Amino acid sequence: MREIKDLVDAAVEAAERAGDYLRTVPRPGRQDWTEKGTHDFVTTVDRGAEAIVVDILIRRVPGSTVVGEELSPKAAMAGAIVWVVDPLDGTTNYLHGYPQYAVSIGCLVDGDLCVGVVHDVTRNVTFRGARGLGAWLGEQRLAISTVIEPRYALVGTGFPFKRLDTLQRYLHQFAAVMGATSGIRRAGAAALDLADVAAGRLDAFWELSLAPWDVAAGVVLVREAGGIVTTLDGKPDVLGGGSIVAGNPTLHAWLIERVSRA
């Protein structure tokens, strides 16, 4: 138990230090954006935040491995302790000054996802969770929403902006969910979307295509807050890259059924 708490502490320090950097470094101008792929940008700021995170994690947990969007993204997530890091989740939001982006750090211990820390940069608050220890925002223990009727539910989502080949499929899903709930929100940072599910602000969430570093930390938060997170097929391993559905047991089951039929 002490070792898990030590991992949480290391992740919190790394995420908050990177957050301090992101709040103070000048935002890159358009000429400094690099487009890695369709609608997918990276800057020296992403890499600067990642360097801070990696330095702290490796120093505090020698021998651990770090996998991230900018750092060895194709590396196998094998090892005793593996950190799964997104140093700036919501890069496009950040580049436009839209205040919804985060530092996300998940940790696998012997292959099991055990620790999740999400630092909300613009609000300067940190969500943290660990297997068996709950999910927390400061001194407040998080709990998922108790809403079970879809017509009262507020559902989060993410657009398949990197996978436009799935857009028509997604639009059918969007219409099906929109017609049966009180609303849908898309803020553009999956780590914070999942943190909001854990905090009960969103009643459920789904997206069709996400990488491990997008979701690793948030998955821990939702599960420790009492929620369920699976793929659209209902599989619990969501780190393979692909779909994700999260929520309380009732809305999780309803959302899978709704989007699958659509």
CATH fold of 150-261: D-Maltodextrin-Binding Protein; domain 2 (3.40.190)
pTM score of the predicted model: 0.94
- pLDDT tens, position by position, 179-211: 999 999 999 999 999 999 999 999 999 999 999
Q: What is the DSSP string of 131-190?
A: TTTEEEETTEEP-------GGG-EEEE---TT-GGGHHHHHHHHHHHHTTSSEEE--S-H
Domain extents in the chain: 2-141, 150-261
Looking only at Cα atoms, what is the longest distance across the chain? 51
Which residue pairs from 71-75 have beta carbons closer than 8 angstroms and sit at least 24 positions apart in sequence?
Answer: 73/211, 73/213
Distance CA 187, CA 119 (A): 16
Class of the CATH domain delimited by 2-141:
alpha beta
Tokens representing residue 184 in the block: 């849908």
Distance CA 243, CA 20 (A): 31
- pLDDT tens, position by position, 110-145: 999 999 999 999 999 999 999 999 999 999 999 999
Q: Check if the beta carbon of residue 57 is closer than 8 Å to that of residue 117.
A: no
Tokens representing residue 60 in the block: 């505090």
- pLDDT tens, position by position, 224-256: 999 999 999 999 999 988 999 999 999 999 999
> How many CB atoms are located within 10 Å of the residue 234 CB?
12
